[in-house]
Amino acid sequence: MMPTNSRSLAVAIAFVALVLLPLIGSDFFVDFVMTRTLMLGLAASTIVFLSAYGGMDSLAQWLIFGVVGFAIGNLVAESGRGLKFGWEPWLAVPVALAVATLLALVLGVLSARSTGIYFLMLTLTYAVIGFYFFGQVTTFSGFGGMTGIDPPDFFNGEPRRLYYAALILSALAYVAFRAIARTPFGMALQGVRDDPVRMESLGFNVQVHRTLAFTLAGFVAGLAGVLNIWWNGQIDPTSIGINPTLDLFIIAVIGGIVHLEGAWLGAFVFLGANIYLRDIPVIGNIGGVIHDRILAEERFNTVVGLILLVIMLTSPDGLAGMIARLRDRLRGRTPDDEDHLIDIGYQPTSKTQLG
Amino acid sequence: MTPNATTTADPSAPPLLRLESVAVAFGGLLALGGIDLDVAQGERLAVLGPNGAGKTTLFNAIAGDITPTKGKVTIKGVDCTALPSRLRPQLGVARTYQKTRLFGGLTVEDNLYLAQAGKRGRHLALRRNKLDAEMRVRAREAGQQVWLGAQLDEKVQDLSHGQQRQLEIGVALVTDPDLIMLDEPASGLSRGERERLIDLLEALPRESTLLLIEHDMDVALKVADRVVVMADGETIAMGTPEEIRSNELVHAIYLGEAG
């Protein structure tokens, strides 16, 4: 297993590189690839946190991410669909985050008794309900969605500032999630993950732990949702539907659902594939040539599906695990697959269904 | 033989644990048929019986993992019949499970820490404090007590089966409980480990009350003051280890099979 110090050093080096990136990267790369990588990584990190520390595989994180977008849209936009409150963008942030956190609390309470596949299906149900809610309740949006949602002046027309905001929030979330794992609450959460029955008999309220972890993850997903709506300036129900919901889960799995840093790695590979693979002639022609069109969604899904398949077959704990093993090999250590899977307490036998 | 509810410890003292007609039914199956039992403080009671006799169901009813269908469970004078299992450590109850239930992704020390944190209310804290440090020290002591001093920093899923059984006992003992319930603690242990287990149980503070389910007669009869024999959800015999050894009914349905 990669020692914790070595792992922290690698993450610190990556952070410094990301801080310096805007000095050398193109506008397109920084804004379209890396800002989105950090936003999606931040959202995916909540899936990893819940799964790796709490044993909860959630498909509701994208919904909470989207609810923040709709909340800010309703509060900030001055025209178009929705409530059109025309608030100052900064003022909308705490309200939207409060809505998202409260929603996560309610959904957490409702699902705290469920585990495994039942928890997964329950959270998928929430995602579907969210899609239809914003599609059909035209007071808040309607299927046409909302546009013209401006970020605060500080970020308006300043993509690098948004990049740094995404970087700072990602770094804070990463550090906070790892620190929480070592607190009494985090220890108890990992106990709940491993054996909820024993935790109850030791005096813990398992459902409260699950609910609070879900609420915390919801808050962080909400932060990512704030960045997203500022970056996008628009949102519609399709953008919080099942496809993007599954995309976020796939990002977490590609990156390595047992490694927090894998969330951002997965987002980078996912977006990189989406943006750059269409330029490669052979891959761009999968399924026949489509003239003058970007890589069609179906083709993109095929490519991502193949990438996912290859990663899952070669490294069940995703890219982060693959990198860790590679480092071990370079250092002459004997690689041990299971060691990486249990890097933060992961138990392979209970999670193999993820593949 | 008619089971009686007397204890050998101190008949005048109120019982630490009292079961009154405790019955548990799973659908049409009556797993416990109405058990009456008093256990005095400091008593060491072994529960014997063939597989399916209802021993673990009895434990689950006492520990709150299942709620009895009928009857009443009283611990330290408190009616616990419907009290959730998570509130029982506050009454000084700790148990082990027949099938090891530990936190595989955490270290030995973390497991022993969590057992204390559950009882001492450090559930939701986001900062470690002095109490946590004390519990860590106690966790390391308890790890050594169950011969896992060299494995304190190892992840539990990497331990051998025998070591996990030792830790299972450690998790129950680390909170210094008043009522210790051990469900087949010797299963999976080697002969040497079983002897160490007997030493450990005999070294428990005399005021600790011990309920023990054990198939290993050497362990059960050596440690216990009193033995209850169960079959088909009923108590069929009760007495001192010597009385149980010489009980023909017990031989016929239990010891005979074993021997």
Which of A190, A206, A209 is the closest to B106 by Cβ? A190
Which of A191, A200, A202 is the closest to B106 by Cβ? A191
The tokens describing B83, both together, are: 């009290």
Whether B128 has its CB under 8 Å from any CB of chain A: the answer is yes
**Residue ranges of chain A whose CB lies within 8 Å of a chain B CB:** 180, 182-185, 187-188, 190-191, 193-195, 197-206, 208-209, 212, 342, 344-347
Q: Is residue A244 part of a domain?
A: yes
The tokens describing B219, both together, are: 């362990």
If we measure between CA atoms, which residue out of B176, B187, B188, B175 comes closest to residue B212? Answer: B187
Alpha-carbon distance of A40 to A62, in angstroms, equals 9
The tokens describing B202, both together, are: 């005999």
What are B97-109's pLDDT values in tens digits? 999 999 999 999 9
Cβ atoms of residues A269 and A323 within 8 Å: no
Cβ atoms of residues B75 and B91 within 8 Å: yes
Chain A residue with Cα closest to B95: A201
* pLDDT score for B80: 95
In degrees and rounded to multiples of 5, residue B25 shows phi and psi of -120, 135
* pLDDT score for B258: 45
Dihedral angle sign, alpha carbons of residues A192, A196, A202, A206: positive
3-state SS string over A155-187? CCCCHHHHHHHHHHHHHHHHHHHHHHCCCHHHH
Whether B99 has its CB under 8 Å from any CB of chain A: the answer is no
Mean of all residue pLDDT scores within chain A:
88
- Residue B221: CB partners within 8 Å, gap ≥ 6? B46, B227, B241, B244, B245
The mean pLDDT of A84-96, rounded to a whole number, is 96
CB atoms within 10 A of CB A181: 18
What are A41-65's pLDDT values in tens digits? 999 999 999 999 999 999 999 999 9
Alpha-carbon distance of B39 to B45, in angstroms, equals 8
A208/B123 touch (CB, cutoff 8 Å), yes or no: yes
Report which DSSP code applies to B155: B
In chain B, what residues touch A185 (CB-CB under 8 Å)? 123-126
A184/B132 touch (CB, cutoff 8 Å), yes or no: yes
B85/A201 touch (CB, cutoff 8 Å), yes or no: yes
Nearest-Cα distance to chain B for A186, in Å, is: 8
* pLDDT score for A343: 44
The mean pLDDT of B73-88, rounded to a whole number, is 95
The structural domain count of chain A equals 1
Dihedral angle sign, alpha carbons of residues B97, B100, B105, B109: positive
In chain B, what residues touch A208 (CB-CB under 8 Å)? 123-124
Chain B residue with Cα closest to A346: B105
B102/A198 touch (CB, cutoff 8 Å), yes or no: yes
Report which DSSP code applies to A31: I
pLDDT band at A345 (very low <50, low <70, confident <90, very high): very low
The tokens describing A106, both together, are: 């309610």
- Between the two ends of chain B, the Cα-to-Cα distance in Å is 22
Strand arrangement, sheet containing B234-239: B93-95, B179-183, B209-213, B44-48, B226-231, B234-239
B155/A342 touch (CB, cutoff 8 Å), yes or no: yes
- Counting every residue written for chain A, the total comes to 355
Chain B residue with Cα closest to A213: B124
If we measure between CA atoms, which residue out of A172, A167, A152 comes closest to residue A230? Answer: A152
Q: Which value does ipTM take for this structure?
A: 0.89
The mean pLDDT of A11-35, rounded to a whole number, is 95
The tokens describing A110, both together, are: 């409702």
Residue type, A336: D
* pLDDT score for A290: 53
Q: Is residue A262 part of a domain?
A: yes
The mean pLDDT of A283-290, rounded to a whole number, is 56
Alpha-carbon distance of A66 to A58, in angstroms, equals 15
Number of H helices, E strands in chain A: 17, 0
Of the two residues A252 and A299, the one the predictor is more confident about is A252
- Flag the least confident range among A108-112, A146-150, A183-187, B249-253: B249-253
The tokens describing A196, both together, are: 């909820």
Which of B63, B122, B123 is the closest to A201 by Cβ? B63
HSE value, Cβ hemisphere, 13 Å, CA-based, for A335: 15
Q: Is residue A8 part of a domain?
A: no
Count Cβ neighbours within 10 Å for each residue of A250-284 and write b for 16 or more, e otherwise: bbbbbbbbbbbbbbbbbbbbbbebbbebbeeeebb
* pLDDT score for A350: 38
3-state secondary structure of B56: helix
A187/B115 touch (CB, cutoff 8 Å), yes or no: no
Which domains are assigned to chain B? 1-92+178-259 (3.40.50.300), 99-176 (no CATH)
Count Cβ neighbours within 10 Å for each residue of B12-23 and write b for 16 or more, e otherwise: eeebbbbbbebb
A345/B106 touch (CB, cutoff 8 Å), yes or no: yes
The mean pLDDT of A4-28, rounded to a whole number, is 91
Alpha-carbon distance of A324 to A344, in angstroms, equals 13
Mutate to test the interface with A, among B59, B83, B86 (most CBs of A within 10 A): B86
B117/A187 touch (CB, cutoff 8 Å), yes or no: yes
Cβ atoms of residues A19 and A171 within 8 Å: no
| Triad B221, B36, B100: Cα angle to 5° | 55
pLDDT band at B112 (very low <50, low <70, confident <90, very high): very high
* pLDDT score for A4: 65
Dihedral angle sign, alpha carbons of residues B133, B139, B142, B143: negative
What are A288-322's pLDDT values in tens digits? 555 545 556 667 778 788 888 998 899 888 999 99
Nearest-Cα distance to chain B for A132, in Å, is: 35
pLDDT band at B217 (very low <50, low <70, confident <90, very high): confident
B123/A209 touch (CB, cutoff 8 Å), yes or no: yes
Q: Give B213's strand partners.
A: B47, B183
Report which DSSP code applies to A280: S
Cβ atoms of residues B136 and B113 within 8 Å: yes
Domain enclosing residue A232, as ranges: 25-354
Mutate to test the interface with A, among B67, B114, B183 (most CBs of A within 10 A): B114
B123/A205 touch (CB, cutoff 8 Å), yes or no: yes
Q: Is residue A273 part of a domain?
A: yes
In chain B, what residues touch A184 (CB-CB under 8 Å)? 117, 122-126, 128, 132
Q: List, as own/partner pairs, every contact residues A156-164 make where C-beta atoms lie below 8 angstroms and the sequence separation is at least 24, other chains included.
A: A159/A27, A159/A30, A159/A31, A159/A35, A160/A22, A160/A30, A160/A31, A162/A31, A162/A35, A162/A227, A162/A230, A162/A231, A163/A21, A163/A22, A163/A30, A163/A31, A163/A34, A163/A35, A163/A38, A164/A22
A198/B126 touch (CB, cutoff 8 Å), yes or no: no
Q: Is residue A229 part of a domain?
A: yes
Q: Is residue A33 part of a domain?
A: yes
Residue type, B77: G
Helices B191-202 and B161-173: crossing angle in degrees, nearest 10, is 10
Q: Is residue A232 part of a domain?
A: yes
Place of tokens 């039942």: A118
Q: Is residue A6 part of a domain?
A: no
| CA-to-CA separations, A113 to A54, A129, B185, in angstroms, rounded | 13, 20, 30
* pLDDT score for A74: 96
In chain B, what residues touch A206 (CB-CB under 8 Å)? 86
Report which DSSP code applies to B163: H
A137 CB burial (10 A radius; 0-12, 13-18, 19+): exposed
- Tell me, rounded to whole angstroms, the distance of Cα A149 from its chain centroid: 22
Cβ contacts from A onto B, under 8 A: 105
